[in-house]
A and B are shown apart, each in its own frame.
Chain A
Amino acid sequence: MTPTEPLIQMVDVDKTFRQGHRVTRVLRGMNLSINPGEIVALVGESGSGKSTVAQTLVRLYEPDHGQLVYAGSDVSHIRGGELKEFRRHIQMLFQDPFASLNPTQTVRTILLRSFPKESKTSGQKALEQHLRDTLAEVDLSPPDNFLSKYPHELSGGQRQRVAFARALGVRPQLMIADEPVSMLDVSLRLGLLNLMQELNHSQGLAYLYITHDLASARYVASRILVMYAGQVVESGSADAVVNRPQHPYTQLLVAAAPDPEQRGKRDESVTINGEPPDLSQEIRGCPFQFRCPLVFDPCLTVNPAMVEVGENQWARCHLFDQRQKTVVRG
């Protein structure tokens, strides 16, 4: 694998769920790419498909169309041993650490079960050391205070760290963190985000950080993808997306985010009419047209393509087709 080859890629992925007669097209041509050691944030409203992206990336779901490419090979439909091997490289961290930890197991048991088989043949002493090292990595120290505890005996922040330690046990290359701090108190969130960054620096661990909080996305990630109705509508460096958003939806998200700096400065409220589209209906044209303050004719019929709108910044919006044309003409 060359250093520039993406670790994982989603290429034009569609994912549809069927429940009785109801057919929901949740992912609609989803594209993303994460390089080794990169931290990418995926931002969007609930229902936009973020968790479905996460589950597809770990192949809990199979893409209906398009490909999931890991280290250069198509893993969209692999099975059995191949799938098991693939999953070792990608781990998930969930929003609710309580739901993801077995309440009847001690921290020791939870971690031991997560270690790969090889490590269990290396002798009791080495295994004990590995347990302690893993806890130290997530700043749970001294380890003896935690090894014999059950999840309910830990605080929310500590539980999330145990879940983190368990995910680290198999030495993954990519961690998918699906709203990992949204249930933690404000004072504890940065601790976990900093931990993610430390492990990124020390082990080159890559992340897909899923959140609806733009400020924390900018804090932890180098690149931000903004998702709407099953597609990426804008991508770029974290700084560009938050400070120079180009897509009207991203502009809306930035304007709506709480910001003490805006105290008393906000002019009349951001008025956004409507809600995200119903994904069980056919959508003609741009999925954001129903809420977009800048909607014009082409939006009603054609879903726009991703267009480069700045240095490594891309947006899926007809406003930029126009600009491209003028640029070409001029």
Chain B
Amino acid sequence: MDQDTKTPPAFAVEHLTVRYPSERGWVQAIRDVSLQVERGKLVGLAGESGSGKSTLVLAATRVIRPPQVAVDGQSFINGRSILNLRDAELRKMRWSTFSFVTQSAMNALNPVMRLRDQMRDTIRAHDRSYQPSVADARAREVMDMVELPSSKLLSYPHQLSGGQRQRAVIALALLLRPDLIVMDEPTTALDVVVQREIIDLIRRLQNDQGFAVVLITHDLSLLLEVAHHVIVLYGGRVMEAGPAEQLVENPLHPYSQALMHSFPPLHGAVSAQVGIPGAPPDMVSPPPGCPFAPRCDRVMGICRTTMPLLQTVGQVDVACHLMNDQNREVKTL
């Protein structure tokens, strides 16, 4: 009873593990990751390249699937289990329940199709009572939402500037009113000024329409500025997850702390900063304990042998042996 009345989160994964086969053995890209994205929230997925951000969302939405990868665990969108859905059901959910915006607009847009025709096709694939005039009206609506003139519906992708193309991809993602939009590095290829325009647009739309966003970016300062909630990945694991304010003001995991000191501030005093020496682990043979142990300046014996579990500290989940009471005392001794 209680289960039924409670609205499920927009997106959730439980104990997700994803491995790629390779000549050198299994690449353990995602290792036992659990997370939740509440409805209407903007959740940021942060982490260095190779930490598993793309793999997580691609496997959880079955864009990549066996035999390309081996997947264990569960993934839910609006409470529906994705990994054992029939293909036809999954096709129905794509675009209408969740959609994607990727770094390269060219991947999402068909280069030889006018925007209008691509939008018509997307609507037709989902709507048995499809009528071109109704589809075109919706196409004009979404163009309006992303602040592109409707006349651009007659353009081919190459006739648009980089910023306009990214707006068109967002328009396409909005077309069937999804509850969740996954955005994988949506502004990485854009200049700062255009990036700011696109990010502001995404936040405005999200406010008005109420869909949830998973925003993947390696630009931590951007993420910390705009996300409600931030999940920090490293070596295929969640290191820390919590409200963005908490991460800005009081990061708990040594990796999050080091990341916070890895980019110079825009304003305020300039002081020497160090970044994080060393390199991320090889995911074919990740270290047995905490993946960050080899680069951590507060590493302890246990970190090299045992992976710490996520535990809740206030509003934040942290996977670090330092959070363990005993070790905290040791540290302060």
List the interface of chain A (C-beta within 8 A of B).
45-46, 155, 157-158, 185-191, 194, 212-216, 218-219, 239, 242-243, 252-263, 269-272, 275
Contact = CB atoms under 8 A, between A and B. Distances in A.
A259 B199 CA distance: 13
Contacts, number: 117
Contacts of B266: 214-215, 218, 242, 254, 257-259, 261
Given A45-B193, A212-B191, A252-B193, A190 B264 contact: yes
Interface residues of B, number: 42
A269 B192 contact: no
B202 to A, nearest CB: 11
B205 interface: no
Interface string B258-284: 110011111110101111110110000
Contacts of B191: 45-46, 212
B5 to A, nearest CB: 32
Interface of B: 48-49, 161, 163, 191-197, 200, 204, 218-222, 224-226, 244-245, 248, 258-259, 262-268, 270, 272-277, 279-280
Contact of A256 (B196, B258, B268, B272): B196
Given A45-B193, A215-B221, A261-B265, 4 more contacts: A190-B263, A242-B267, A258-B192, A269-B196
Which residue, A155, A186, A216, A272, has most C-beta atoms of chain B within 10 A?
A186
Contacts of B264: 190, 215-216, 218-219
Contact of A263 (B245, B259, B267): B245
Contact of A185 (B49, B192, B226, B270): B49
A194 B277 CA distance: 12
A188 B275 contact: yes
Contacts of A187: 48, 258-259, 262, 275-276
A186 B225 contact: no
Contacts of B224: 260, 263
A194 B274 contact: yes
Which residue, B161, B259, B267, B273, has most C-beta atoms of chain A within 10 A?
B267
A185 B48 contact: yes
A260 B258 contact: no
B227 to A, nearest CB: 9
Closest 5 CB pairs of A and B: A190-B275, A269-B200, A219-B264, A187-B276, A258-B222
Contacts of B262: 186-187, 189-190
Contacts of A157: 279
B118 to A, nearest CB: 23
B231 to A, nearest CB: 16
